[in-house]
Amino acid sequence: MGSQDSQAVDGQTGVTGRRALLGAAVLGAGGAVLGLSGAARAAAADGTAEVRHGGGLRSLPVPTIIGHRGASGYRPEHTFGSYQLALDLGAHVVEAGDLVPTKDGHLVCRHEPEIGGTTDVADHKEFADRRTTKVLDGVSVTGWFTEDFTLAELKTLRAIERIPANRPHNTLYNGRWEIPTFEEVLKWQDEQTRKRGRQVWIYPETKHPTYFRKLGLGLEERVAKLLRKHGKDGRNAPVILQSFEPSSIQRLNRLVDNPLVVLLSSATSRPWDFVEAGDPRTVADLITPAGLREIAGYAQGIGPTLDLVIPKDANGDLTTPTTLVADAHKVGLILHPYTMRNENPFLPTSFRKGTDADAYGDVFGAYKTYFATGIDGVFTDNPDTGLLAREDFVNS
Ligand code: G3P
Ligand code: CA
């Protein structure tokens, strides 16, 4: 990483590399203020000094490398082993974590409530009778669910690798780490910030918020309460909040001042809160200029799939970039697409090398293509690879 970028990451000195800092207020060709958080960009444009939400986003380097579920390319996801490695590798932000609740109301870090695929729960005979089938956001799912376990029970489990066919080496760490709680993450963030002498950023996500609210386990109030307790609910707090359900982000918008990001799945999909509310709109509607303007009224960014930035053809090859980056920037929203992974099956076809499911493809080529669209950051399972690709890009 170049020296200017190092300063941006480590010291947050305000020194600007060519594309290094969100706070640099770089003027783009069209005169738009690039590289600022959405609200901050709008404020900078109209001269307003005060921005309620997301001001701290300005201290992050661009493009921002976000460790997806930690460094999940190398360690079982959503463990302190994975989070710690993401920091060690230099990730600017760590997605710690995807948040789901326990039966007794604690928030824990799992990608989904069903834990059969990411823990050793199947080996625990005492929990055999908890295996069940539920309908989760319209999909029938069989397994074990966090909301049926107390925190004490979940703490007896250990994490395992989700995709051993792609990541056989990661199984070395099966059984090593327990499921983190969100409160443990908030304390870990402070410890790591002190220890490393640089601000550690996290990027938690509310998972299935409508589903859990109907079970009496609303997520947003719990998130807000913990953020407040740890003094991390302000506009400059190093905690970005994300959700696939716009109403969850709107609720968080009323509870805290943190930067907020609306996640966007495929164009034809409907956020589950829309389904429940009878709102017929799809993601395609949300990414129109009008849809993006509406999002910019309560969030600072969007987290689209990479396919919404550059669609693939039937062969899995990249086609022409959409106007999403320009359209989002026009209304002051930053873009943090997901998810870059080094292994062949997760790359566009033309960037694969051979056919092995656990072999790496030409991921640098893929990064170059995606960064060229002007995205503000990216979620990646391999933060070290992402940082090298970023270095190539900012020095190009
Ligand atoms: O949060 C960004 C990205 O993580 C969204 O995808 O399914 O991995 O949570 P997912
Ligand atoms: Ca996530």
pLDDT digits (tens, 9 = 90+) for 233-256: 999 999 999 999 999 999 999 999
pLDDT at site 380: 99
The Cα 116–Cα 100 span in angstroms is 14
* 379, 380, 381, best to mutate for ligand 1 pocket (most atoms within 8 Å of CB): 379
User: What is the rounded average pLDDT of the residues 175-197?
Assistant: 98
CA–centroid distance, 211 to ligand 2, in Å, is: 17
pLDDT in tens, 102-157: 999 999 999 999 999 999 999 999 999 999 999 999 999 999 999 999 999 999 99
Q: Is 68 in the pocket of ligand 1 (CB under 6 A)?
A: yes
Count other Cβ atoms within 10 Å, centred on residue 293.
14
User: What is the rounded average pLDDT of the residues 273-285?
Assistant: 98
* 77, 78, 95, 266, best to mutate for ligand 1 pocket (most atoms within 8 Å of CB): 95
The Cα 126–Cα 141 span in angstroms is 21
- Please determine, for residue 35, whether its predicted confidence score (pLDDT) is greater than 50: no
Q: Is 338 in the pocket of ligand 1 (CB under 6 A)?
A: yes
321 CB burial (10 A radius; 0-12, 13-18, 19+): middle
Instruction: Say if CB 156 and CB 58 are below 8 A apart.
Output: no
- For every residue of 205-244, DSSP letters joined together read EE-SHHHHHHTT--SHHHHHHHHHHTT--STT-SB-EEES
Residue located nearest, by CA, to atom 3 of ligand 1: 338
Ligand nearest to the Cα of 303, by number: 1
User: What is the rounded average pLDDT of the residues 288-296?
Assistant: 98
The Cα 298–Cα 254 span in angstroms is 9
- Please determine, for residue 38, whether its predicted confidence score (pLDDT) is greater than 80: no
pLDDT in tens, 315-369: 999 999 999 999 999 999 999 999 999 999 999 999 999 999 999 999 999 999 9
pLDDT in tens, 39-60: 444 433 433 333 456 677 878 9
Instruction: Say if CB 273 and CB 209 are below 8 A apart.
Output: yes
pLDDT at site 56: 79
The Cα 48–Cα 227 span in angstroms is 27
pLDDT at site 53: 65
pLDDT at site 114: 98
pLDDT at site 192: 98
Q: Is 242 in the pocket of ligand 1 (CB under 6 A)?
A: yes
Residues 6+ away with beta carbon under 8 Å from 7: 13, 15
Domains for the chain: give ranges and CATH numbers.
3-100+179-394 (3.20.20.190)
- Residues paired with residue 134 on neighbouring β-strands, in sequence order: 141
The Cα 362–Cα 239 span in angstroms is 32
Q: What is the overall mean pLDDT for the chain?
A: 89
